[in-house]
Structure formats: C-alpha cells, structure tokens
Structure 1
Amino acid sequence: MEWIEDELQKLVDRSLNRSLQISSTVFDRQGYVLRGQKTLLDLSSNDYLGLARHPAIADAMAQALLAEGAGSGASRLITGNRPPYSRLEDALAAWQQSEAALVFANGYMANLGVIQALAGRGDVVFSDRLNHASIVDGIGLSRAEHVRYRHNDTEHLRRLLHKHRDARRKLIVTDAVFSMNGDQAPLAELVALKREYGAILMVDEAHSGGVYGARGEGLCHALGLQGGVDVHVGTFSKAFGVYGAYVSGSRTLIRLLVNKARPIIYSTAPPPSVIAGITEALKLVQTECQRRERLAASSRQFRSTLRVAGFQVGPGDSPIVPVIVGDNATALRFSSALESEGIAAVAVRPPTVPEGTARIRFSLSAAHNPDDLADAARRIEQVAVRLGVLAP
C-alpha cells in the first residue's frame, strides 16, 4: 500500500490536499459557524434561506423521531415506505405543478438513479462541461455515450445534437444554477433544442430551488419554462436546510424510476424524521417569501461591492459569488487569511473546478446581517490587496 503515500504527497505538492475540519453551530448567531475556539462569519454554507436551524423544522423532526423511531428499517419497495413519504411526494408534485414526484436520499443518488434509468448503451447524454460531479458519474454508470458541450454554448450543443441525431435516445442534462460559478443555464434555448431534436431535458435545480420562483419552485418556474422540462431534480440540503432530494415529472417517469432507479431499489428509505423535516421546510419555502427577497438583496449588494473593489466576479444574480484567483496555493492562502479575519470562505480547487481556476466561492444566506456582509466585503478586499490578488 506504499503507493497511497505517494499519491497523497502528489496532492500536497500541487496544493490539492484536503482534510476534514470540524465546524460547530453557533446557536445565538445565525449565519456564523464555530471552528476551534473562533466564531466565523459563514460564507461557505449552502443554507441559502437560513432554514437549517428553524425551530419548526427541528420540532417536526423531533416529534417524528419519537413517533416513528430512528430509521425506516428497509427500502421503500420492501417495508420502508411509510405514509409520510407519499404525503410529501404529493405536496412536492403540487408545488412543482407536475403529475408526480419521488424522494431520494440525496441529490447525488437522485442524479445517478435518474440518468441510469433513462439512458444506456446506444443512447447519448449531452452534458454541460461544468455540470456537477453527480451528473458526470451518473452518465458514466449509465454506459451511454457521454458528449460534453462547452459551458452554456447552445450552438455547440446544436452541432452535437445534429451529429448524433440518429441515436436511440438523446438526453440533455444541465444544472440550472452552476454550483461553482453561480451563473444560470440558458434554459429557454435548451427547451427549444430538446423539442427540435426530440431529446429529453433534465434540469438539476439543486442551487436554484427555494431561491427562485414565486414560491421557491426554482429557476424553470421563474422563467415560465417548467412545461418544457421533462425531468426536474431538486435537493433539500441547500435552501430547504434539511437533507435529501426529489425528482418530479410525469407519472410515467416516476413509475419508471420506482422500477429502475437503483438508489431507490437498493437503498434503505430515508429516516421518517428527515421526511418530517422536509415536509415542514416545504411549507416555509413557499410561505416565507421575505427570506428569498432578503437573500436576493444581499446577493446584489455583495456582488456589487466586490466588483467596485476590483474583483472579477462571475455573472449572475445567485447567492453563489465566486472570486477566481487562479493557482491553488494562492487560493489556500486567501482562504486561510480570511479565516484569520473571522470569515469562513473555503478555497475551491481542481478537480471541482478546471485547472487554473481555483477560487474562493462565497455563498450567501438570508440569515446574514447586511452590516456583517458589508464589513466582510471590506475585509475581503484588504486581504486580497495584502496577498497581491488585488492591486493596491
């Protein structure tokens, strides 16, 4: 096993080594995290609406834990399918204005299960180059041909669709909001292309669900395009503040997934307490619209402040605000210096992002105080000048 030490040293040499750090909740300060003995402004969490510590969600989970026990005990196709699961799926379908929905353990499993159920040998999956790793892995496991198109380049996608126009099945897959860039997919163009070439369109709303739409339905609904999307995937681990994922679409699609999605067939059903938490979170996502409004205002202001300071901030209006610094070592120094200044902002490096595009990925929450964000932006600029990331 000596080769393992060699592999790990290679990661260290390239500033790509990773380690687990313990972060604890700061119960009296929303938007903050405790690391060691230091309280830090948390600019790395995906808790977009600040629901992760909502007392109504915690209470619903506690009650379900006492009533239903710690675990479901089996997969849903055995004896693990409790009544709360179907009630949640009915509520999700109504929220998404779809015929049916299906809950998965997490977003990674949802993407793996859906892609493997829809595509196989002889099929072609067209995937944006910046799609999440779960989409990439799902395509690989499906054994379909994996064709990547340049990021958000619909003309490139059109050429590829034409080249593979005779494939048995064609599946186009994209994130709605890209997790490391914070920009949006050209959904209207993708809907038009899928119709033109008779393809299936699958959209992952992991980072846009709860954030966009009148009731938090996601970017597809916000743009009025939900009717053109065949497979809608979303997660509960981000804006919902809980854990898990769902797929919504036609009843036929959901029936297929129940029969062919391996994560559903071969995984124990999520704990009933988690289902109870999701159910409560779904109500809050739809009714507490002020959280979305507060998040949108903070995102606009934070982006604007960093741009004025001279940072090259990516396009978009999402709460994901990346600052690209280039090399891995600089990104690590930047992150460490920010922590010294009281800010938790993790350096994101390859293979999560392309080589040469290491970055600090700032992630905002409705739980953040605007004054804290303004102060953080000032400190971020000071650290960047000190490290040479920004000119003085």
Structure 2
Amino acid sequence: MSSKALEQFLDENIEDLKSRGLYNEIDIVEGANGPTIQIGGRELINLSSNNYLGLATNNTLKQVANEAVASHGVGAGAVRTINGTLDLHKELERKIAAFKGTEAAISYQSGFNCNMAAISAVMDRNDAILSDELNHASIIDGCRLSKAKIIRVNHSDMDDLRKKAKEAVESGQYNKVMVITDGVFSMDGDIAKLPEIVEIAEEFDLITYVDDAHGSGVLGNGAGTVKHFGLQDKVDFQIGTLSKAIGVVGGYVAGKKNLIDWLKVASRPFLFSTAVTPADAAASAKAIDMLMESNELVQLLWENADYLKAGLKDKGFDIGNSETPITPVIIGDEQLTQKFSKRLFESGVYAKSIVFPTVPRGTGRVRNMPTAAHTKEMLDQAIATYEKIGKEMGMI
C-alpha cells in the first residue's frame, strides 16, 4: 500500500502545475529524430531538436556504430576504472582534445554528468563559485554538490562579475574561486563574454569553467565558443556534450593533462558509472573527424538559422537577441505560450513551449532549433504556419 502523504503530495502538485499551464506533456517520437518527425502517425517539421548538424541520422555514423557493435559488443561491461575503458574510449578522448585544442580530455556518460563530476572534484566547502544567473540546471546542481559558496552573478554583467570576484578574493575566506558560465545560453541563444571573463579571471586568479554544450559544433568552425574567441589556452575547463551537434550521446571535459588525470581519480560519475557504449564512442569519434575535416555542415546550419530568423522577424515576431541558431519566439504568458505551441503542432510544426521553471515567469517562449538538415521548403512552411497562427491568435 502506497503512502497517503506521498499520494497527496503528488496529486496536489501535479494539479497545481496543470492549472498554471506549467505541466509538460511528453510526446513520443515514432522513428528517427530528424528534420521531420512522426508523432501519433503524423509527420511534422521538427524545430525542437538539438541535432544541430543532422548527425543523429547520418548514414556514415550509423555504419560506424554498427561496426563497433559487431567488434566490441553493445555495452562497455564495466566502469572506466576497472575494465570498462575500451580502445574506442581512448581514441574518442584523443580526438576530443585535438578538436578542442587542449592537452587532454575525459569522456562521460552525458553533459549533465560532466558538471556533476568536474565541479565537485575540484571545488569544496572552502571554495567559492561565481555563477551566471542563467547557467544551465546541471551547472547549478554541480555547484550545489560541491558544497562551495555559490555567488550568483547578474547575467553577462561584467561589472557585477568583477565586483563579486574582488570581494570573494579579497575576503580571504576561500582557498579557490571559480567563475563558471555557459558558452551559449540555451534559452536566449546569446554568447558568453568570454574575453572579458578571462580578463577578470586573470586579474583575480580565478579558475575558468565554460560549459559549451550549445557552442560545440556551432561556433568556432564547429570547435566551440572557447575556440571562437581563441581562448583554449586560457580556459581551465571546457565542458561539452556529444548529444547535441555531435549527434550521439555523452559528454566530456577538455583541459590540461593534470586536470584530466585528477578527474580520472576523483570524479564520481567516472568512477561509479559504466562507460558509454562502444557504438556511442565510435560514432562520436567519427562525427568529430567529420567536423575537423570540413565546416560544410556548420555553414549550412548558420544559413538555415539566419533564414528562419529573418522570416520570423519579418512576420512581426519577437525573436529576442539570439547570436546563435537558437531562435526563441518570445510570447510571455505561460498558458498563451503553450496554446501557441499546441496550435503549431496541430498545423504540422513541432516547436515546444518553454515556460517556468526553465525560464523566468512571464518570459514563456516557443524555442526553434533549425538544423543543417532542414530544407528551405521546410523552413518556408514553418514560417507560413507561424504567420497563420500568429494572426489567428491576434499576436501579429
């Protein structure tokens, strides 16, 4: 018999979320997650995937993954520190380091795991972390896990960062102080001010930590935000994911060799969780090869992103100030945002609503993620659908 207290808690809180338009229904994709997807037997133009370069459905990567299953099996069989480190994992890490311009790299099971692993392996209750207020949830959780003092910094506000860095360092309370930021902020698509952040870090001897989940494969000819600014020698931690532009699954930390050596003996997800599958490791390594050999997919991504942005803006939608392919259509009211997304779905466009707590209250938006795999015809159809529903709902 289940707990009455638990049942009451669940019923009340789920109903509360539904009444405020904050309850998220999960849709089931029937087949591959490409530029179009099938849900409930209907084909829709897909503008909600992080598959920036279309690599999740790439035939070459599928072949490489199949070959890895044939040669190495479907699972790694153990944690990395026992006998779960395959030659495929070592090759992947070698390629990540070359891709990111660092001495070494370590791979994890997800980007979320990277932040849980790396922050708490280096920072503790005697330290402080200067964290941008719009940092991803995994950064926030990683900071909490470390037990370091978390000092919230106004979003991309360099005056506030300098002031708080000065206070933290000069207080003498902390052994180490870290500044941590997303490279690209996933809800608004803006880019962190890394040159200024590095300058402040050098002034106050701060550890620098950049989570580049939405920058890798997108900026810096695909190599990411840090390389975009030419700062790979000045950023201590480069965090990335293999689950977005790379098209597979997993995450990594790239940096100096001694940092990576330490993470191998001190980061708990590496020590206590089985490694990514052989297929994932091999396909990720091949995807990185492709990006290092050619920037054709990256250029196509940006062409499609610019095309979609111009089309939506021309129709009168508020697309914010995104500097990357992430294209929010900002609506505001949570229930109106969810209604708009539902009408898009009914009209053949899959673009999910993003509401509180993912974004602040009153800033609900439908977030569009154009990819290199979309055709101009698909984007034209999406723009026309936006226009139709925008007029129908009196928004434009």
TM-score (norm 1): 0.96
The residue type equivalent to 1:133 in the other structure is A
Contact 1:299 1:317 survives alignment (8 Å): no
Alignment partner of 1:136 is 2:133: no
Matches within 5 A, 1:278-293: 278-293=284-299
Measure the CA separation in 1 of the matches of 2:26 and 2:384. Answer: 28
Deviation at 1:317, TM superposition (A): 3.1
The total of aligned residue pairs comes to 387
The residue type equivalent to 1:73 in the other structure is G
The residue type equivalent to 1:173 in the other structure is I
Deviation at 1:26, TM superposition (A): 5.7
Alignment partner of 1:162 is 2:162: no
Matches within 5 A, 1:351-366: 351-366=357-372
Partner of 1:190 in structure 2?
A: 197
Alignment partner of 1:373 is 2:373: no
Partner of 1:103 in structure 2?
A: 107
The residue type equivalent to 1:287 in the other structure is E
Contact 2:32 2:57 survives alignment (8 Å): no
Contact 2:104 2:260 survives alignment (8 Å): yes
Measure the CA separation in 1 of the matches of 2:262 and 2:180. Answer: 18
**Residues 115-135 of structure 1: CA distance to partner in whole angstroms, max 9, x if unpaired?**
101211021111111111000
**SS of aligned partner of 2:246:** coil
Measure the CA separation in 2 of the matches of 1:247 and 1:26. Answer: 28
Q: Among the aligned pairs, what percent are the same residue?
A: 35
Deviates more, 1:329-338 or 1:280-289: 280-289
Partner of 2:183 in structure 1?
A: 176
Change (3 A) 1:129 1:57: same
Partner of 1:350 in structure 2?
A: 356
Contact 1:183 1:314 survives alignment (8 Å): no
Match of 1:388 among 351, 376, 394: 394
Alignment partner of 1:6 is 2:19: no
Partner of 2:35 in structure 1?
A: 31
Deviation at 1:360, TM superposition (A): 0.3
Partner of 1:308 in structure 2?
A: 314
Alignment partner of 1:250 is 2:256: yes
The residue type equivalent to 1:176 in the other structure is G
Measure the CA separation in 2 of the matches of 1:46 and 1:155. Answer: 32
The residue type equivalent to 1:175 in the other structure is D
The residue type equivalent to 2:155 in the other structure is H
Partner of 1:113 in structure 2?
A: 117
Match of 1:264 among 262, 270, 281: 270
Partner of 2:3 in structure 1?
A: none
Deviates more, 1:100-109 or 1:306-315: 306-315
Measure the CA separation in 1 of the matches of 2:375 and 2:262. Answer: 45
**SS of aligned partner of 2:220:** coil
**Residues 160-181 of structure 1: CA distance to partner in whole angstroms, max 9, x if unpaired?**
1111113211111111111111
Q: Which runs of 4+ in 1 moved over 4 A?
A: none
Q: Give structure 2 stretches of 5+ with no counterpart.
A: 1-5
**SS of aligned partner of 1:52:** helix
Backbone CA RMSD of aligned residues: 1.2
Alignment partner of 1:88 is 2:95: no
Match of 1:295 among 278, 301, 306: 301
Contact 1:296 1:317 survives alignment (8 Å): no
TM-score (norm 2): 0.95
Partner of 1:203 in structure 2?
A: 210
